[in-house]
Structure 1
Amino acid sequence: MASQTRAEGEGHATEQGYDKLESTPLVGERRDVLAGAREPDSPAIDLALSGTVFFDIVLTGLAAPPASGTEVPAEGMGSCPGGVANLAVAASRLGLRTAVSAAFGEDVYGEFSWETLEEQEKVDLSASRRIADWHSPFTVSLAYRGDRSLVTHEHPSPVPLWDMARGLPQARAAFVSLCAGDEVPEWAHAQAANGAKIFADVGWDDSQTWCDSVLEQLEHCYAFVPNAIEAMSYTRTGSPASALALLAERVPVAVVTDGPRGAMAVDQVTGESAEVDGLVMDTIDTTGAGDVFCAGFVVGTLAGWPLEQRLRFSNLAAALSVQHTGGSLSAPGWADIAAWWVHTHAGHSETDRRLAREYAFLAELVPMPWLPTEQRRASATIGLRH
């Protein structure tokens, strides 16, 4: 997500250099990937979400992790809505009409996050609430050597999430995060009863017990998208492929992501299975890359793309996101994808030719004449206004 202003003096991608670190996501027109499937009686919202929105401050380019009594300089910094906002923004930038149910404090962090989501990222907040005398959840993310550490402070919302989530508009899909000891939330069941597909991921288990109750919740889900460590831990298997085989017995669409090593999936609905290599790009911050992958997969599924295409598109979106700072801040839009495709399609290396073949489907999604605009989003800084 970007600030309300645009940085002055920022040039065209070819002048800045496509691979320049600390470049900001390109500005581009929104694209409705589901335009051909929209009917007068179809849901107005494509993806419904409920969760906590954090105000994130992300610091990148640390020379070393901070130690007690020391001060460590950071080369880059960004501020943006995080938590459930990561997936919401990623989906919205890729063309989905997205609605979020969340609590926002009436402090400067909450106001900034609300404005960013509603006004800039076009996320429907009709089921969200501003709450007086409650400060917004807050996270500091420290990006170091391709990974990140988080420091978080929050108080429970005075208004329960389940209460707010009942106001979510009907959607084509709902996304939930599964948790041991919980159930698929009632709002998601209500969405599914009216035709929504439930997509799910799972958070890291700090206890590392990997309770079976998480897998039992899959009977209510359409698709499950864990990473390789989570998938192997919950299934008690020794490889991502073995984990995928067991997950495919529990849920119609099972996906296992493995970062730069790629992703694999089985779709029982279409009878497809696929495995694709990852894309390795210069990494500034991995925050939100998993959310971006999930957003890409929801987009491809709702658009009816073949399974391999869905995996490749999701891999590309996630890989593009790690080149920028922050979770929602780094989520790519269609201009970023177009820039990558134009750059790759015009390349002469063996790798470029291979990628041009593997991603040939992008030719229809981002035609060659359709180029990014000359403007780029400025990195988000809270309170920066003209």
Structure 2
Amino acid sequence: MATKGRPGGNEAARRSAAARDKDGASGPESEYDKLESTPLVGEPQDVLAGAREPDSPAVDLALSGTVFFDIVLTGLAAPPSSGTEVDADGMGSCPGGIANLAVAASRLGLRTAVAAAFGEDVYGDFSWETLGDQEMVDLSASRRIPDWHSPFTMSLAYRGDRSMVTHEHPSPVPLSELARELPQARAAFVSLSPDEELPAWALDQVKGGAKIFADVGWDVSQEWSTAVLEQLRHCHAFVPNAIEAMSYTRTGSPASALSALSEHVPVAVVTDGPRGALAVDQTTGETAQVEGLVLDAVDTTGAGDVFGASFIVATLAGWSLERRLRFANLCASLSVQHTGGSLSAPGWADIAVWWVQVHGDTSDHGRQLASDYAFLSELLPISWLPTDQRRASATIGLRH
């Protein structure tokens, strides 16, 4: 990877002194302490406990994809223009890519398995340890690859959005080979592509009874091939954002796009950022539309993945369509308050804290939220006493 030349020692000393002047010495209120969010921990909550039988799949969610090593810089006024340098108020480093979904699902209690390639570099060490040891993701179908460096992404968060720069080489071991080792699951997640068919491992999961949940990436060609829609015949649910949904269906509104998508897949969901989400579930005959939750955003990286993982959790738990959408909206909104795509995903302790705050809000808005999310009372408050198992922290240098 190309690197930018850096100033000499005098400049480094100036930066260090300036940081001390700006941030304060080393007390608990220093700006440094604000760069990393403190992960909440608690007793695990298993929303599928009542559905687990001796012959049930050992895994709830199977995933396959690329794990990136992400470095996220937050608090930028704007991205740097050519020949300039800008300051960032915060930073975090964490596994990204398919890890976003894996961590989000695992923190909400799903038994999650991932097939991915990890380099035998320090980035690969960190990502493997974070996912396997700290986030309890099953990596038995994953592999460490010698003499291959981990895929890398730099994300710049500013003005409620983000830009990304990625560097990667294809894995010497194809994902299709790794994914064949995934255990049978209740559900599987795939990202559809107009250039490829639904992967064989996902079709094998369908044969074993799994529900396939799908989203789709941005089409850089701007062609929005209808081949993506043809693949939905294998899927249980499709969760694109509004722009993707309208582009693939050649429609002019999220509602029209949803109607068109419902002709291709049993459960169609269209997310529309702060405006919320709308969905149709033909298996239950439900339709629903919920407004978004607007919370202070630090980093929006991975919010869509958190929505998808939360929707899968709520679906496997058998909740109504409206509850599924509200729960997914809540989790995605909570995630943008922290740095890092995967490690910003909320767990049940985070949801419990938000629920307590809602009940303490006596305004009309607070009372409306308490009514809309009343179903959380069936799950919370839960016993989330501190445990020895800590959630991962979004920094490669501050490891527990």
TM-score (norm 2): 0.89
**Contact 2:40–2:349 (Cα < 8 Å) also in 1:** yes
* CA distance in structure 2 between the partners assigned to 1:263 and 1:327 by the alignment: 20
* CA distance in structure 2 between the partners assigned to 1:233 and 1:142 by the alignment: 26
Shift of 1:371: 5.7
Shift of 1:338: 0.3
Q: Which amino acid aligns with 1:148?
A: R
**Contact 1:339–1:372 (Cα < 8 Å) also in 2:** no
Q: Which amino acid aligns with 1:280?
A: V
Alignment partner, residue 291 of structure 1 = 305
Please point out which of 203, 207, 210 is paired with 1:189. Answer: 203
**Contact 1:22–1:284 (Cα < 8 Å) also in 2:** no
1:135-187: CA deviation from partner (whole Å, max 9, x where unpaired): 00000000010000000000000000000000000000000000112111000
**Contact 2:393–2:399 (Cα < 8 Å) also in 1:** no
Shift of 1:65: 1.3
* CA distance in structure 2 between the partners assigned to 1:162 and 1:371 by the alignment: 39
Please say which structure displays the higher CA radius of gyration: 2
Q: Which amino acid aligns with 1:337?
A: I
Task: Indicate how the Cα distance of structure 1 residues 265 and 385 shifts in structure 2: closer, same or farther if over 3 A, else same.
Answer: closer
Task: Indicate how the Cα distance of structure 1 residues 9 and 273 shifts in structure 2: closer, same or farther if over 3 A, else same.
Answer: farther
* CA distance in structure 1 between the partners assigned to 2:27 and 2:317 by the alignment: 38
| Matched-pair identity in % | 78
Aligned length: 370
Task: Indicate how the Cα distance of structure 1 residues 148 and 332 shifts in structure 2: closer, same or farther if over 3 A, else same.
Answer: same
Task: Indicate how the Cα distance of structure 1 residues 323 and 22 shifts in structure 2: closer, same or farther if over 3 A, else same.
Answer: farther
Q: Which amino acid aligns with 1:114?
A: W
TM-score (norm 1): 0.92
* CA distance in structure 1 between the partners assigned to 2:301 and 2:149 by the alignment: 23
Please point out which of 62, 81, 87 is paired with 2:95. Answer: 81
* CA distance in structure 1 between the partners assigned to 2:225 and 2:394 by the alignment: 39
* CA distance in structure 1 between the partners assigned to 2:316 and 2:115 by the alignment: 21
TM-align CA RMSD: 1.9
Q: Which amino acid aligns with 1:170?
A: Q
Q: Which amino acid aligns with 2:69?
A: F
Task: Indicate how the Cα distance of structure 1 residues 234 and 314 shifts in structure 2: closer, same or farther if over 3 A, else same.
Answer: same
**Contact 2:42–2:383 (Cα < 8 Å) also in 1:** no
Alignment partner, residue 218 of structure 2 = 204
Alignment partner, residue 158 of structure 1 = 172
Shift of 1:68: 1.1
Alignment partner, residue 279 of structure 1 = 293
1:331-369: CA deviation from partner (whole Å, max 9, x where unpaired): 0000000000011012111100000000000001112x6
- Pairs within 5 Å for 1:112-261: 112-261=126-275
Task: Indicate how the Cα distance of structure 1 residues 86 and 9 shifts in structure 2: closer, same or farther if over 3 A, else same.
Answer: farther
Task: Indicate how the Cα distance of structure 1 residues 374 and 96 shifts in structure 2: closer, same or farther if over 3 A, else same.
Answer: closer
What are the ranges of 5 or more consecutive residues in structure 1 without an aligned counterpart?
A: 1-7, 12-19
* CA distance in structure 2 between the partners assigned to 1:121 and 1:373 by the alignment: 15
**Contact 1:100–1:168 (Cα < 8 Å) also in 2:** yes
Q: Which amino acid aligns with 1:191?
A: Q
**Contact 2:43–2:384 (Cα < 8 Å) also in 1:** no
Shift of 1:69: 1.2
Please point out which of 38, 43, 53 is paired with 1:29. Answer: 43
1 or 2 for the larger relative contact order (CA 8 Å, sep ≥6)? 1
**Contact 1:25–1:324 (Cα < 8 Å) also in 2:** no
* CA distance in structure 2 between the partners assigned to 1:96 and 1:228 by the alignment: 27
* CA distance in structure 1 between the partners assigned to 2:286 and 2:82 by the alignment: 52
